[in-house]
Structure 1
Amino acid sequence: MPELCDVTFLVGSDRVPVHGVKAILATRSRSFYQLVLHHQKQSEMATTTRKISKKQKSSPHSNTLVIHVPDYGTETFRRFITFVHSGKVKVDVNHVVGLLCASEEFHLPDLRTACKDFINRCQGHGQIRKLVATARQYQNKTPAQKLLSELP
């Protein structure tokens, strides 16, 4: 429910909005805490340097923090944010590498463990080709690079 959220992530090159709650994100992850604070300070500085005319109305979402996240697929990041908020996530072979990368980047060891366990099970079920293809989408991230070097 975007109207109840106070942070919007613009995900991927298409900048698809994925909504979240700053307090929950910051509580679950120190990295999110730092990211939110950093963007909030930048936003406040931009607002104070901009002249706003008295005739201009503020939008209903003017207090919403907007953060661009170009490195993740939309559905993968949506699942990741759902995990951060609820502690639950649907992991499948199409999204596991992205979730693993996000879990490393935002320091969520419980999700990282779940992703690694899923990857180990996938290898035994002939899903290596799909894992490799997905890992290549995230080849600029260290966990994906490590996975690519470990897979046959």
Structure 2
Amino acid sequence: MPESLFYPASYIVMAEAEPDLSTFENKTGLAEDMKFLASMPELCDVTFLVGDTREPVCAVKAVLAARSRVFHKMLYQPTGQQHQTLIIEEFEPDVFRQLIEYIHTGCVTLQPRTLLGVMNAADYYGLDELRRACAGFVQCCINVDTVCALLASAERYIQYKCTKSLVQKVLEFVDEHGNEVLNLGSFTLLPQHVVRLILARDELQADEFTKFQAALMWGKKYCDNNPNPNLKEVIGNFLEYIQFHKIPANVLMREVHPLGLVPYHIIMNALAYQTQQVSTPENCLPIE
């Protein structure tokens, strides 16, 4: 039976013309070698001092310039120096190191802690394929375990356009899983203004006592990490976002009032409102 019934004509021509050729690829080996190259300063010709700590990250100029027009413009200026040293303040060392690893090897392991930084660095240096990969990964990696890490890293890169669009998606996830997120230990690692932003959201699906406990947990962690703090003053920054009248009276008196952190008049107003609601449901909410 004719071979043309089984194989495309193009394949037959190639096989007849070059029967002894075979393509061998070792992309993984190449990536590993290039990754190892960046760990050997003597083989690199540019050193970046990255972040506030000025951590050194070494690279090969030719590789960076070939992969990124931004790096090409940055690195190939008439300096007359064999080995360049440049300061990078825009990104954290871990983020920049991952970016350089990707440029050298074509591979990088994306992780929630550095994801937003890598995405913005990719955008900044014109690596569109990496930026798209990061944006796609964010969509599928937002969960209870990663949400606080994503929000914490967003604080560092909030001035970049990529961050702003994704923070809203993360906050929407927080809204839908409010009670779970507020009970996370990692919630205490968020900046104060992010905690206030979350507690103030009307869309947040969390009960008021859970919100109070989250504020208390955050305040205790803050006091542990800072000298001479006043827990009552720290908690005071969050009280306006908690509707104490929605916390059951027995919980207010047993769990909240004994702590001495919530002003007495707020507790009394909340109790008075609950009493009024029982007798006259149409009464208005008192000002706390």
Q: TM-score, normalised by structure 1?
A: 0.80
Equivalent residue number for residue 64 of structure 1: 83
Deviation at 1:118, TM superposition (A): 1.3
Matches within 5 A, 1:1-152: 1-37=40-76, 40-41=77-78, 43-44=79-80, 63-123=82-142, 125-126=143-144, 127-152=146-171
Give, in angstroms, the shift of residue 31 of structure 1: 0.9
Q: Deviations over 1:85-110 (max 9, x none)?
A: 00000110011111000110011111
Root-mean-square deviation (Å): 1.4
* CA distance in 1 between partners of 2:42 and 2:115 (Å): 29
Report the Cα distance in structure 2 between the residues aligned to 1:63 and 1:147, rounded to whole angstroms: 41
Alignment partner of 1:120: what SS? helix
Match of residue 50 from structure 1? none
Tell me whether 141-150 or 72-81 shows the greater mean CA deviation: 141-150
- The structure with more helix, counted as a fraction of residues: 2
Shift of 1:149: 3.6
Structure 2 letter corresponding to 1:104: D
State the structure with more CA Rg.
2
Give the CA deviation at 1:117.
1.6
Task: Please state whether the residue corresponding to 1:14 is helix, strand or coil.
Answer: coil
Structure scoring higher RCO (CA < 8 A, sep ≥ 6) equals 1
AA aligned opposite 1:30: R
Give secondary structure in 2 for the equivalent of 1:151. Answer: helix
Which runs of 5 or more structure 2 residues have no equivalent in the other structure?
A: 1-39, 172-288
Per the alignment, residue 11 of structure 2 pairs with none
* Percent of aligned pairs sharing the same letter: 34
Which digits, 9 at most, give the CA deviation of each residue in 1:2-53, with x for residues without a partner? 110001111001111100000000000111111112xx43x34xxxxxxxxx
Write out the 4+ residue segments of structure 1 that deviate beyond 6 Å after TM superposition.
none
Q: Write the distance in 1 (CA, Å) between the matches of 2:53 and 2:115.
A: 21
Aligned-partner Cα distance in 1 for 2:163–2:74: 22
The one-letter amino acid of 1:24's match is: V
3-state SS in 2 of match to 1:133: helix
Q: Please identify which structure carries the higher strand content.
A: 1
State how far apart, in whole Å, the 2-side matches of 1:70 and 1:88 are: 24
Unaligned runs of 5+ in 1: 45-61
Distance 1:149 1:120 in 2: 12
How far 1:121 sits from its partner (Å)?
Answer: 1.0
